[in-house]
Structure 1
Amino acid sequence: MSLPAGAEQALAAFAQCPGWEQRARLLMQWGERLPALSDAGRCEANRVHGCESQVWLIAEQRGQVWQFCASSDARLLRGLLALLLARVNGLTRADLAAIDLADWFAQLGLARQLSPSRSNGLNAVLQRMRELTERS
């Protein structure tokens, strides 16, 4: 399966970072690029449960592929969400089902920085994405 353009950009950008400090700075920059969700989007129905921080997720089907918007009240998590969205936006339901989250963050050089609670939270977001695509 080929990577979406946003995922290719993320891999190229993070490959340029020699250490964690540079990756952390880049991670924050990616988080700042996430479009803000409206107050209506930050409702209980869009909240992802299973995350320590508040996370909201909205899905939209465009033809056979899916586009997601997400936000969080936690700065570092917004960066991780931006990278997750770069990996999954534009995928079909079948492609989304095949995503290996641990492998994606390992490719970016971020796997060691994912605490178990952050990892669980991101898995909860991915699971919610899959649930939303199943309803269509």
Structure 2
Amino acid sequence: MAEDATIADTQRELKEDFELLEDPRDRIEYIIDLGKRLAPLDERHKTEGNRVRGCQSQVWMVAELDEQAGRIHLAADSDAIIVKGLIALLLRLYDGRTAEEILANPPTVLEEIGLKNFLTPGRSNGLYSMINRIRQLAGIYAGVTPEARAAAG
């Protein structure tokens, strides 16, 4: 993400990327490639408390607040490569943002690029579970207290 790029800018970039891929198979391959390049989550974070509920696959997500910058750093992983690619898309949108930015900018680009059209219903539900988890974590950090930090993992 460019240092000054907004979530709206990043959503436009993602839309442009996917518009170049007309064939649904190419879009899936692109997502899989993103998943292959996703940095793995440290094993110590793969706990039940960090698991995202509602996903067919195992998905773990953690957030940490950079208090000086006021930005949330997200990390996530999955045992399924396509889900890792979906995680990579979400991290591109939301990693390094403020809680307020995350909460004010739903990922409308995911509908615009037609992800629902080529994901199974289970994967689609999992994607929205991950989005809800990101928004939940942002909500926790929007009112940062020591208790909120502990709840965020």
* TM-score clears 0.5: yes
> What is the aligned partner in structure 2 of residue 106 from structure 1?
111
CA distance in 1, matches of 2:65, 2:33: 27
Structure 1 pair 104–8 and aligned structure 2 pair: CA distance change class (3 A): closer
2:30 is the counterpart of 1:26: yes
Give the letter for the 1:51 counterpart.
Answer: C
Equivalent position of 1:131 in the other structure: 136
Whole-angstrom distance in 2 between the partners of 1:4 and 1:100: 10
Counterpart selection for 1:91 from 97, 114, 124: 97
Number of the residue aligned with 1:40: 44
Deviates more, 1:63-72 or 1:103-112: 103-112
* Higher Rg of the two aligned structures: 2
- CA deviations 1:68-88 (Å, max 9, x no partner) are 111111111111111111111
% same residue? 32
Structure 1 CA distance, aligned partners of 2:118 and 2:95? Answer: 23
The range that moved more, 87-96 or 29-38, is 87-96
99, 108, 122: which one pairs with 1:117?
122
Q: Which runs of 5+ in 1 are unaligned?
A: none
Question: In structure 1, what is the Cα distance between the partners aligned to 2:38 and 2:88?
Answer: 6
RMSD: 2.3
- Tell me if the contact between 2:103 and 2:139 (Cα under 8 Å) persists in the aligned partners: no
Q: Quick check: 1:77 aligned with 2:83? A: yes
Q: Normalising to structure 2: TM-score of the pair?
A: 0.75
Amino acid in the other structure paired with 2:41: L
Structure 2: segments with no counterpart, 5+ residues: 145-153
Preserved CA contact (<8 Å) 1:14 1:109: no
TM-score by length of structure 1 reads 0.83
Give me the whole-angstrom Cα distance separating, in 1, the residues matched to 2:45 and 2:9. Answer: 26
SS across alignment from 1:35: coil
User: Partner letter of residue 40 of structure 1?
Assistant: R
